[in-house]
Amino acid sequence: MIALTFSLGRWQTQRGDEKAVRQAMLEARAREAPMVIGDSPGPAEALLYRHVRVTGQWIPEGQVFIDNQVAQGRAGFHVITPLRVAGGRRAVLVNRGWIARTADYPRAPDVPVPSGEAHVEGLAALPPARFLELSSETVSANVWQNLSLARYAERMRMELVPVLILAEPPAHGLVAVHERPDTGIERHREYALTWFSLAATGAVLWIVFSFRRQAP
């Protein structure tokens, strides 16, 4: 029990430290000039948390809606649309913003996809690593429970730039989605303190009962 609770405390500490590092990276790169994404953008680490620009054409049939996203105190969707990068074969996924659920839920709202050449700016991020699947079927038509770049690329048969762009500004009628890596750092530290306290309590109890057993 001591080993288990101590290891859980260390894990929560590491999660908090990881988020602190990511937030520091975001703040440092936010001050840099925007980077232009081409057909060969390099690894995700080189783009992550940078402001980027990309030109291309939207792929309407690839648009999906990520369910159970909360904004302004309401449940809704993140609208994810692929953009074919100009002059190449790759596409990059763009989070065009948040939209609330309608009376037609669980069907997604109607969000039109513009035609013609598009110019997108925004922050390069990654989809959340957390996967809470509400059922064994994670995709229903164009409504998804979570977004995974690998899952999307396989299902849509697209070659993707390895980041997700959070559009700034968002598409017309949508609410901007922002990245906050520091969200939950204090909660991780509180959990870590709780687990370390349980480990310490377990150690004290073990010592006390050990001495009692040895007493004449």
* pLDDT tens string 65-119: 999 999 989 999 999 999 999 988 899 999 999 999 999 999 999 999 999 999 9
pLDDT of residue 134: 53
- Domains of the chain, residue spans: 1-30+184-216, 32-180
Q: What percent of the chain has pLDDT over 70?
A: 81
Per-residue confidence (pLDDT) for residue 55, from 0 to 100: 96
pLDDT of residue 110: 95
* Residue among 144, 140, 78, 83 nearest 111 (CA): 78
- For residues 31 and 34, give the distance between their C-alpha atoms in angstroms, rounded to a whole number: 9
Of the pLDDT bands very low, low, confident and very high (cuts 50, 70, 90), residue 6 is: confident
Nearest of 123, 104, 101, 102 to residue 176 by alpha carbon:
123
Confidence class for position 210, pLDDT limits 50, 70, 90: confident
What is the average pLDDT value for the chain, to the nearest integer? Answer: 84
Contact 95, 120 (CB under 8 A): no
Q: Which two tokens stand for residue 170?
A: 């968002």
